[in-house]
Structure 1
Amino acid sequence: MKRLFAITLATVFLSAGAALADPIEGNWKTESGETAGIAKCGGSFCITLKTGAHKGKQIGQMQASGGGKYKGKITDPADDKTYSGKASISGSSMKMSGCVFGGLICKSQAWKKQ
């Protein structure tokens, strides 16, 4: 009986942990075909490339701003230039954008959750 209780309790805690994950966490397919992993790092979410020529490189850091929206910094891995970044999630899609000059010039990509 104790064993059954322990297994049930462990299952409940594991399920609750998955349910508490932030929507931005996980693996995302970028427009260029690479996979980017997003995971908690301190009070933020770090974006690291998992595939492609820049595999292993951290390319951004975002903080939740509510309602499926995030703000932070995003780096172009090809030239190492860092931009003011925004992300917004809708279902299994995320719009990721990087801007310069206070948002005057922006470039966006649509990423899909894997």
Structure 2
Amino acid sequence: MHWLALAAAPAALVASMVSAQEPVIGTWKTQVGTTAVIDRCVEGYCITMKTGDHAGQRIGSFQGRNGSFVGTIVEPESKKTFDGVLTVAGDTVRMRGCTMKIVCRSLIWKRLQ
């Protein structure tokens, strides 16, 4: 009977790890209709374009937890780097960033997966 309890322990651990996954991880539809993936990386969480002209390009990295993050994002077309915040609420990611503290942009992405 003890082996059955031990066999169930790894499954319970995996289930708790999945439920503890940060809500920012996933595939997101950008405002221009392309898709981007946010996943864990050395810097915390990284944004990589999945489709469009910049597919495969990493465009941002953030650190934080519980749906609130700070970091940088690069606008692929202009190559401008924006420092800012990213927040997750349900199936929506909101980003607000500024470059040189004067040029600011806001983005809203919707979750695909």
Percent identity over the alignment? 34
Superposition pairs for residues 1-114 of structure 1, below 5 Å?
2=3, 6=7, 8-64=8-64, 68-102=67-101, 104-114=102-112
After superposition, what is the alpha-carbon deviation per residue over 1:18-52, rounded to whole angstroms, capped at 9, x for unaligned? Answer: 11111111111111111111111124111101111
Structure 1 unaligned spans of 5+:
none
Secondary structure of 1:22's partner? coil
d(CA) in 2 for partners of 1:109 and 1:75?
Answer: 12
d(CA) in 2 for partners of 1:100 and 1:43?
Answer: 20
RMSD: 1.9
Structure 1 moving runs of 4+ over 4 Å? 1-5
TM-score (norm 1): 0.84
Secondary structure of 2:16's partner? helix
TM-score (norm 2): 0.84
Q: Give the drift of 1:69.
A: 1.6
Structure 2 unaligned spans of 5+:
none
